[in-house]
Amino acid sequence: CADRIFTSYGISNFSKTSLAPSIYSMVESIWKVARGELITEDFELYFENAEEYYSRSKKFKSKMEGVKKAIEMSREKLERLKREEEIEQELMREMEKKTLVKKKRKKRKWYEKFKWTVIEGYLILAGKDATTNEILIKKYTDSRDIVLHTQMEGAPFTVIKMDRDIEELEGGKRERLLMETAKFAASHSKAWKLGLGSTDVYWVRPEQISKTAESGEYLKKGAFMVRGRRNFIRGVPLGLGIGILEYEGEKKLTTAPPGSVKNFEKYVMLKPAKRKKGELIKELKGIFKDYHIDDEDVLRVLPPGESDIVRK
């Protein structure tokens, strides 16, 4: 009956719509009242039910509007945060570019093209990137030196510049030299950027390192094949201090692991942390202001990623 009524008004397939159950029942009731098959009291009850459905639909609509508004606010907040992050990254890139533009560039020692420090009286060198890795191994590594590397891909090669075979060193000094250098290598690797507490490091002799790849393989820039036995130092803890070290008659800013940085004239300890690099550089320049440190001096020696000062 209800379908015939709606069809007569040009509305087809009404019974398949979402409103059909309640409206269909109400129309049927109206038809029954008209034919005397339903008393008006029952008919009025149907109208009350219809009013309740209408009231519920208004509340639902109001809630949906609230949900839509909350979603829109969240979307706007995410967009704002994204824009702020992009602006911050752009400012950081501009600041790093400006540090490289100097009216008068400082004259630097040959070893300052690498990450460097002094441990147990020995000069330690580490690559900064693929190019300096390549230069370090090919040009500045001698037969008596010791080469260290972490198990992580992309880590720098680290070289102990030896004046004798390492086996000639007294046992305690040899172990301290290897462990402290391993900490230096680990702290200047991707492990610091990832915020790891420790990582594995191994050491080999220069003759074990080759630029000749295995058959069918290719070595990219800064990468080398390591053949033969690797001497592992497991679970090397990350730790690094930054400060003023006097070397070859000059006072320079550099880094060293905890056991060696204590020999620096002045230093603070660092830790992996989410702090803006610009803020850290500014604070470090203030700490070492008596040594005429500039932005480039700090940028050259910091470990990869973000860091902060360990507060006492």
Residue pair 202/232 in contact (Cβ under 8 Å)? The answer is: yes
pLDDT at residue 205 greater than cutoff 80: yes
Q: What is the pLDDT of residue 15?
A: 52
Give 76 or 104, the one with higher predicted confidence: 76
Q: Whole-structure pTM over 0.75, yes or no?
A: no
Q: What is the pLDDT of residue 143?
A: 94
- Average pLDDT for 157-167: 96
Output the six-digit token pair for 175: 């172990």
Q: What is the DSSP string of 89-115?
A: HHHHHHHHHHHT--SSPPP--GGGGSE
Q: What is the pLDDT of residue 154?
A: 72
Most confident of 69-78, 214-223, 283-292, 303-312: 283-292
Phi, psi of 218 (to 5 degrees): -135, 135
Distance CA 3, CA 15 (A): 7
Q: What is the pLDDT of residue 213?
A: 77
CA angle (57, 58, 61) in 5-degree steps = 85
CA angle (199, 204, 209) in 5-degree steps = 110
Residue pair 147/159 in contact (Cβ under 8 Å)? The answer is: yes
Q: What is the pLDDT of residue 22?
A: 54
| Domain spans of the chain, in order of start | 110-309
pLDDT at residue 18 greater than cutoff 90: no
Question: What are the Cα distances from residue 280, in Å, to 17, 44, 70, 252, 272?
Answer: 65, 76, 37, 18, 12
pLDDT at residue 171 greater than cutoff 60: yes
Give 234 or 66, the one with higher predicted confidence: 234
pLDDT tens column, 254-303: 999 999 999 999 999 999 998 988 999 999 999 999 999 999 999 999 99
**Mean of the per-residue pLDDT values for the chain?**
82
Least confident window among 61-65, 127-131, 149-153: 61-65
Question: What are the Cα distances from residue 32, in Å, to 13, 20, 42, 44, 210?
Answer: 22, 18, 11, 13, 97
pLDDT at residue 163 greater than cutoff 90: yes
Element at 85 (helix H, strand E):
helix 40-99
pLDDT tens column, 82-121: 676 577 667 666 665 665 554 466 788 999 999 999 999 9
Cβ atoms < 10 Å from Cβ of 136? 23
Give 148 or 90, the one with higher predicted confidence: 148
- Average pLDDT for 145-168: 93
pLDDT at residue 21 greater than cutoff 90: no
